[in-house]
Chain A
Amino acid sequence: EIVLTQSPGTLSLSPGERAILSCRVSQSVSSNLAWYQQKPGQTPRLLIYGASSRATGIPDRFSGSGSGTDFTLTISRLEPEDFGVYFCQENGSMFGQGTRLEIK
Chain B
Amino acid sequence: QLQLQESGPGLVKPSETLSLTCTVSGGSINRYTYYWGWIRQPPGKGPEWIGSVRHSGSYYNPSLQSRVTISIDTSKNQFSLKLTSVTAADTAVYYCATIVGASRVDHWGQGILLTVSS
> Do A96 and B46 have beta carbons less than 8 Å apart?
yes
- Interface SS, A side: loop
- Interface SS, B side: strand
Instruction: Give the residues in chain B near A91, CB-CB below 8 Å.
Output: 102-103
> Do A1 and B47 have beta carbons less than 8 Å apart?
no
> Do B61 and A34 have beta carbons less than 8 Å apart?
no
Instruction: Give the residues in chain A near B47, CB-CB below 8 Å.
Output: 36, 44, 87, 89, 95
Contact of A32 among B37, B102, B105, B106 (CB under 8 A): B102
Contact of A46 among B35, B95, B104 (CB under 8 A): B104
Interface size class of B (residues with CB under 8 A): 20 to 34
> Do A49 and B104 have beta carbons less than 8 Å apart?
yes
Interface size class of A (residues with CB under 8 A): 20 to 34
> Do A43 and B104 have beta carbons less than 8 Å apart?
no
- Cβ of A50 < 8 Å from any Cβ of B? yes
- Cβ of B57 < 8 Å from any Cβ of A? no
The residues of A with any CB-CB pair to B shorter than 8 Å are 1, 32, 34, 36, 43-44, 46, 49-50, 55, 85, 87, 89, 91-98
> A46-B104, A95-B49, A98-B46 provided; 13 other pairs, C-beta below 8 A?
A34-B103, A43-B95, A44-B47, A44-B105, A46-B105, A50-B103, A92-B52, A92-B99, A92-B100, A92-B101, A92-B103, A93-B49, A93-B59
